Amino acid sequence: MRHGQQAMPAVEGLSEVKLDALLDYLFTHDRALGAERAQSRRSGDFNFVRTENRKLKDHEGYPGSKPPWGTLTALDLNTGRIRWRVPLGEEPELIARGLPPTGTPNFGGPVATAGGLVFVAGTKDRLIRAFDSATGEELWRYELPFVASAPPATYEIDGRQYLFIAASGGGTLRRYDERVRAGDAFLAFALPD
């Protein structure tokens, strides 16, 4: 709580009283809190153990929940409504079995352009994709040498727009799937005139 761990940031501004109340709730809310237990908690006899963050997976190693396991979603900021949502990422083995795209756990935000494109990577399948910002239709994809778990960047030189992405294998994504390989590559693409 005070220092954060992995992708979870620290919680700031929590007094000792509020922290004790939160911990009491988290560890005892489903049991009657007896005076003996409350005294034990306050006396420092309550032990905490840091363990590995385990992921719920099925018998084949896929996420143990109903797909999609990753999505790209466009919100209309004027209405607060979802304009479109598409699965983000594919499991090639499941596509080969004839299943529709499931999405994959992903890390790495999108970048939107003034020309109506949304570029995003960060999926286990190592693809960077371009979507139509109005419809969510996938317009382009390119297989990267490694997972890119950071948002792409876009820039302009002499009136031509470029896209840049760093692909390193996604350290955070490797915790979800040990098959994600580490590496280092930088790629730049020129958008058509």
**Has this prediction a pTM greater than 0.75?**
no
Per-residue pLDDT of the chain (193 residues; tens, 9 = 90+): 778 777 777 878 878 888 887 777 777 755 554 444 444 444 455 555 556 667 788 899 888 899 999 999 999 999 999 999 999 999 999 999 999 999 988 888 999 999 999 999 988 888 999 999 999 999 999 999 988 888 999 999 999 999 999 988 766 555 555 666 777 889 999 988 7
- The two tokens of residue 131 are 């979507």
Q: Is 108 exposed, middle or buried (0-12, 13-18, 19+ CB in 10 A)?
A: buried
Distances (CA, A) of 68 to 89, 103, 159, 189: 9, 5, 38, 29
What is the set of domains in the chain, with CATH numbers? 1-53 (no CATH), 104-190 (2.40.10)
